[in-house]
Structure 1
Amino acid sequence: MRIFLAAYLAAVVILGGLAIAGGLALYGNLGPDGAAEEAASEHGYNLAGWEINHFPEKWLHKLQHLFHGPSEQDRTDAICEYFQTAARLANSAPQPDAEAEKRLAELENDVEDAIEGRATAILEDQKLMLQPPLFSDLGLVFPPVDFEIDGTPRVLAISPRDRIELQNSYLLEPDIPLQEIDQIEHDAESANVDGHGVSALIIRTGGFSSYPSVVFADAPYDSLMETVFHEWLHSYLIFFPLGEGYFRSAETRTLNESVANMGGKELARLYFERYGTLDQACGAQPRPSVTPAPVPTGFDFTSEMRALRRQVEAMLAQGQVEGAEALMAAKRDEFQTKGVFIRRLNQAYFAFHGFYADSPGSIDPVGPKLQTLLERAGSPGEFVRRASAVTTRADLDKLLE
């Protein structure tokens, strides 16, 4: 048994190495050069350093609890207390609550372990289990579900002004003051004056597929679970054509991100059906002290955004760059009056979010086609297995014939 566990841990270490290599590949394929890189250089995200700091600590904690894991009730109690404490901390803002922050830190590893164990059970049910050499008889999920609740990296996205295209991107550290974010975007745009120049935007990510993956620390339980499954699917797909081809084309990357997005949401739905939402498992939860403005009845954000995207694409194709930018700025202000806040809406916004074909900012027909595949598959697991061999839109069309 020790030999198997040692080999299994070695395989997990290899996954960590692949995560670092993937991050470096992302930088090599999309990383900006020139002014954009210079603007962001002081706030670059240290992926290798993050792995070195978190990977050993996380697996040491796992090994300590390998044979004496918590009961299901202990898992539920830890999850309930964690998110109740997080809600109390959010309601105390802007006043710091040192006691709540300390308790969150104490609970974090146990909550991660609890969620990882439950997520693993869902993946087992869906038969999303690789069988690497030595482990085929052990019935272990591989890659193991492994995530860290932490600050997620930001992304500086760069698109040409005269079209919507993710030309470059750069990982940035999580905690950058808003004033510096504005300055980085300004510097990236003003220094790249070539024809129509570029559009820049710094975006907060909900998660990042390192190993362990990173999940945004302030995410509510439902969003956190979608992200946990989303990032795990990226690790899983590395071993299939859809993951292997991630950096080869924007087409494959869109398919990969969209499958992870849709599959992650469906797996999270199954998770909550089995284990319950916070309200179901823990009783009524603390509500935000400030109630967000209600979205007006009849306002369909997804439809509005997709209509805007089409209009902007048409204007840019006709060379109406300034007009398209003025329209996006006006729509951003309009959305805010309807309860939807977008800090900055520009070409880079659509370029980044366009990789998620099921998102409001995308008009890629891949989204509806993948939805059809999901419905035909009958389960999230079968959907992922069928999609894992797809690398082009033509592949997807053939699969749907």
Structure 2
Amino acid sequence: ADPNIQDKETYSQDLRAELNELYTRQSQLAPLAEAVLQGQITQVLAEIGLTSGGQPIPNVWYHSTRLPWALIVSPRERIEQTANISLNMDLTVDEHAILESNIDKSLNTSTLVVPIGGVGVYPTMVARTTNFEWLLNTIAHEWIHNYLMFAPLGLMYTENPETRTINETTASIAGDEIGRLVLEKFYPERISASPTTLQLVSASFDIPDPDDIPRPVFDFREQMYITRVNADLLLAEGKIDEAEAYMEERRQVFLRNGYLLRKINQAYFAFHGAYADAPGGAAGEDPIGPAVRQLREQSESLTDFVNTIRWITTLDELQEELNQ
């Protein structure tokens, strides 16, 4: 955004008109496109055995649409999601900030309004996107949430943080695998190329110009992991103010590296830390993510993994299953 533009409505009028035309076109194509993707995901689910008589329960049914914002609330003294409240999708960032500030002052909490990728209602709601692979993964992710509702892991989603993390991590792992299978079966031409192998670079013996020295790529997940671990340590020592100051300092580091994070606080980690399908990141040292990933590795198939973990709701139960 250009702060020098005073009349933003007039300046963006043509762009907004074009965007509205594209949304209209999208709405016209959506029923057919959604039906095609639903059918393709259903076919893959049948092939891997996550169906009953070839029929997924429930049927794969989703709609791409604008999604509400989510207001996440955590205590200040620890990282734990105690509330997730849907907000009007038309609220502005300034209104988010005012709402967060008012709640924090009134309840002495840590809050954050975050965007979400999908909602596991039925039919599921999935955010609009141009990233086709992400779309497939998210449709499958939200269907897994629906599937888990027929077992304790879904029914007890809101009972405690452990259950929520197991549930979200399972949905992320399974959703990504199912999405990849759909991509390979129906859209192989859209599979991303393998990442380029990095080559070592030798510096000359002369004193180099600092601007010419290759710098390591900023690893978002690693740096967020470090931030979470250190924040947890400070909070465990009762140093709430120090932890919050540290998280703000770290936010500035992310900002300087191109990640426009409005806040990093307890609520940020309470929300993002539940998605522990990959090492590192906002989950920090939470043992649930590694345990879920280990169970997936030990399982003979994705179907075996999902049908085993759907009956598990705590870390103790998960570790007991791993030790069998």
1:267 aligns with 2:178: yes
1:230 aligns with 2:151: no
User: Structure 1 residues 174 and 379, CA, compared in 2 at 3 Å: closer, same or farther?
Assistant: farther
1:144 aligns with 2:59: yes
Match of 1:103 in 2: 25
Note the alpha carbon deviations across 1:129-178, whole angstroms, 9 max, x for none.
Answer: 14xxxxx5xx3222100001001121111111122111222111222111
Match of 1:41 in 2: none
Flag the structure with higher helix content.
Answer: 1
- d(CA) in 2 for partners of 1:348 and 1:180? 17
Name which of 92, 103, 117 aligns with 1:188.
Answer: 103
1:166 aligns with 2:166: no
One-letter amino acid of the structure 2 residue matched with residue 151 of structure 1: R
Q: Percent identity?
A: 34
Match of 1:400 in 2: 322
1:376 aligns with 2:298: yes
Q: After superposition, where does 1:1-400 map in structure 2 within 5 Å?
A: 93=15, 96-130=18-52, 139-192=54-107, 197-218=108-129, 220-276=131-187, 279=190, 297-358=216-277, 360-363=281-284, 364-400=286-322
Note the alpha carbon deviations across 1:276-327, whole angstroms, 9 max, x for none.
Answer: 267469xxxxxxxxxxxxxx74422212111111111111122222221121
User: Structure 1 residues 98 and 151, CA, compared in 2 at 3 Å: closer, same or farther?
Assistant: closer
Name stretches of at least 5 consecutive residues in structure 2 with no aligned partner: 1-13, 193-214
What SS does structure 2 have at the residue aligned with 1:339? coil
One-letter amino acid of the structure 2 residue matched with residue 275 of structure 1: F
What SS does structure 1 have at the residue aligned with 2:307? helix
User: Structure 1 residues 117 and 335, CA, compared in 2 at 3 Å: closer, same or farther?
Assistant: same
What SS does structure 2 have at the residue aligned with 1:305? helix
Asked whether the 8 Å contact 1:357–1:365 carries over to 2, the reply is: no
- d(CA) in 2 for partners of 1:329 and 1:93? 35
TM-score, normalised with respect to structure 1: 0.67
User: Structure 1 residues 268 and 314, CA, compared in 2 at 3 Å: closer, same or farther?
Assistant: same
User: Structure 1 residues 174 and 97, CA, compared in 2 at 3 Å: closer, same or farther?
Assistant: closer
Q: CA RMSD in A?
A: 2.0
- d(CA) in 2 for partners of 1:324 and 1:150? 37
Asked whether the 8 Å contact 2:184–2:191 carries over to 1, the reply is: no
- d(CA) in 2 for partners of 1:345 and 1:179? 17
User: Structure 1 residues 98 and 234, CA, compared in 2 at 3 Å: closer, same or farther?
Assistant: closer
- d(CA) in 2 for partners of 1:392 and 1:320? 29
Note the alpha carbon deviations across 1:68-115, whole angstroms, 9 max, x for none.
Answer: xxxxxxxxxxxxxxxxxxxxxxxx956634432321111011111011
Displacement of 1:329: 1.2
